[in-house]
Structure 1
Amino acid sequence: MLRAFRVVAFIEGITTILLFLVAMPLKYGLDYDALIRPFGMAHGVAWLAYLAAMAVCLPGKGFTIAEWLRTFVFALFPTGTFLNDPLIARRQEQLSRA
């Protein structure tokens, strides 16, 4: 289940980067806003999928409350899901060894 969560987190991180580094600069720099709606929608769906994946994939895997909070808070910032991935990968490795 943690592998599925990591995939969802990766997609959420990519959609955030696309929104902030492609769509928004085009809108505000070149007055081209055609990408805002589709990239924004993709990011919104990915964000909701991330929250759902947290609720489904993380329970029972030994995460502390602080790690749950970290996993949520890191998703609020661009590239945060990538910075949090080593934590999830370590837990995935621990569970596969057990």
Structure 2
Amino acid sequence: MNNSFWDSTLGRFRLVAIIEGISYLVLLGIAMPLKYFAGFPEAVKYTGWIHGVLFVWYMALLLKVWIQYRWSFGKVVLAFIASLLPFGTFVLDSKLKKEQQAADA
């Protein structure tokens, strides 16, 4: 069994998915209110940029996982949709943790 997220492509995807999900929640829950209620647009500018980079990284790893683990098209679509929903990547991670444990066994 792998001890680190970095030991496999699926582990790296899970880690990036969690970080991307956190950045999305920060963007929606902190940066957007700062922009619209406190007149601080820089919060969205910088948080949005970071989130965008993480989203691109998530998509690149999703493509790699799709190919390496031979995921179905439907599973890839669900992983994409998870990235668009608040808390979606956390729900996805709970499912992928089981898959990673089975793959590592």
The answer for the alignment partner of 1:81 in structure 2 is 89
**Gaps spanning 5+ residues in structure 2: where?**
1-8
TM-score by length of 1: 0.90
Gaps of 5+ in 1: none
How many pairs are equivalent? 97
Q: Which has the higher helix share?
A: 2
Which segments of structure 1 move beyond 3 Å, counting only runs of 4 or more? none
CA distance in 2, matches of 1:88, 1:52: 17
The superposition leaves residues 47-73 of structure 1 with CA deviations (integer Å, 9 ceiling, x where unpaired) of 100000111133232422221111111
Distance 2:76 2:29 in 1: 28
The answer on 1:30 being equivalent to 2:38 is yes
> Following TM superposition, by how much is the alpha carbon of 1:93 offset from its aligned partner in structure 2, in angstroms?
1.1
Aligned counterpart, 1:43: 51
2:13 corresponds in structure 1 to 5
**Cα RMSD between the aligned structures?**
1.3
Higher relative contact order (CA 8 A, sep 6+): 1
Q: Are the equivalent residues in 1 in contact too, given 2:21–2:88 (CA < 8 A)?
A: yes
What TM-score, normalized to structure 2? 0.85
Offset at 1:33?
A: 1.5
Structure 1 equivalent of residue 78 of structure 2: 70
1:47-58 to 2 correspondence within 5 Å?
Answer: 47-58=55-66
